[in-house]
Each structure stands twice: as C-alpha cells, then as structure tokens.
Amino acid sequence: MERNELYPVFLKVSELKVLIVGGGNVALEKLTFLLKSSPNAKVDMVAPMYREDTIALANEYDIVMHRASYDSSYLDKKHIVIATTDRPEVNELVYNDCRTRSIMVNVADNPPLCDFYMGGIVTKGNVKIAISTNGKSPTTAKRLRQFFEDVIPENIDDLVKNLNEYRKTIKGDFEQKVETLNEFTKGLVQKK
C-alpha cells in the first residue's frame, strides 16, 4: 500500500516571504487560502495581469503586486513560492529557479513540481488541523475538512486555553507533566 510520507509543519508565514507567480483564478484561490489561514502573511505577487477579485483582496491585505512577467529577480529574499500561471513553461522555469536557490516551491496542479502541498485546513481558535491526500485528491481533502468543521465543537478553543492554564500549575518534570495531561485529557477522544 502506498504511504503518505509528507512531513506536516505549520509555518509562520507572517515571518516568511511568499511569492505567488500568476494573477488568474488559481492565483486568487491560493492567495485566498493563504490569507484565510494566515491574514498577516507577507505576500508578493507577479503577473502581467490580475483578476479584479485578486486586486481587491490584495488591496485589503496590503499584498505587493508587481505588474510584470516573471523573472528570477522576483525570487530575491523569498522563502516560499507558489507558481499558478496557465503557461507550463513559466511554471517549470519558476520551479527550476527555486530549486537552484533552495526555495520551497509549489507548482499548482503539478504534484511532481511541488516541495509542499496546500491541503485542507480546519481552524477553530487555536486548534488547527491540516489534511493531506499526498497531492492525489484535493476533493477528498475538502470533504474531510468539511467533516472536521462539523464534528469539532466551537468551544474547543476554550478547552485548549483552560488546559494551557492547568498545564502551568502542574509540578514536576516534562515527563510527569505529559503523563498528568494525558491522564486528564484521555476522555476527550473516546471510541464508541
């Protein structure tokens, strides 16, 4: 059986510099996804043209928009790049330029040219769950996201905050604290 070997991480994109190459529908989708999860993300975009919706969203979030064709100078000081153009040769150029500079890159709808995937995300306060299908089925990730949004209670954030306060009062070393919290929270996930 094939196995998902991706390593999940949560990036502080408010402290990293992101570039989106493209200004069409896919660029809007990726920008929307990024800003929904991280409204303070630092994002630049480069494209010869932009959709009106993209311009409106970019203006709302102070996204820097360059009205130009892509060239590798736009990669300067970037940590993450998302290529979304409808021209495969441009997306491949972006990929190769990023690989040369050791910049993480995602070429939309082309899993072999991705260092990472943008999966489904469920956020309830401080709780965030990321869902990956290893780039195989974004639709499945979307359905799983909808499922988790329905089953995770809205007050989960209150529980997290209360457990954080409780954690501060526990005496002992790290292992003792983990054991105490594990015992205290085991009722959260009960198999029926």
Same domain? 38 vs 24: yes
Q: Is residue 40 part of a domain?
A: yes
Q: Is residue 6 part of a domain?
A: no
Q: How far apart are CA 10 and CA 43, in angstroms?
A: 17
Average pLDDT, the chain: 88
How many domains does the structure of the chain reveal? 3
Q: Is residue 180 part of a domain?
A: yes
State how far the alpha carbon of 34 is from the alpha carbons of 12, 80, 124, 141, 150, in Å: 11, 12, 16, 16, 22
Residue, of 192 and 7, whose pLDDT is higher = 7
Summarised one tens digit per residue, pLDDT across range 86-109 is 999 999 999 999 999 999 999 998
pTM for the full model? 0.82
* pLDDT value of residue 81: 98
Same domain? 24 vs 75: yes
* pLDDT value of residue 187: 65
Q: Are 9 and 117 in contact (CB under 8 A)?
A: no
Same domain? 49 vs 137: no
Q: How far apart are CA 71 and CA 26, in angstroms?
A: 19
Same domain? 76 vs 147: no
Structural domain that includes position 113: 17-118
Question: What average pLDDT score do residues 5-33 get?
Answer: 93
Q: Is residue 128 part of a domain?
A: yes
Highest averaged pLDDT of the listed ranges 7-16, 126-135, 167-176: 7-16
Question: What average pLDDT score do residues 149-178 get?
Answer: 77
Using pLDDT thresholds of 50, 70 and 90, give the confidence band for residue 184: low
Backbone angles phi, psi at 101, to 5 degrees: -100, 5
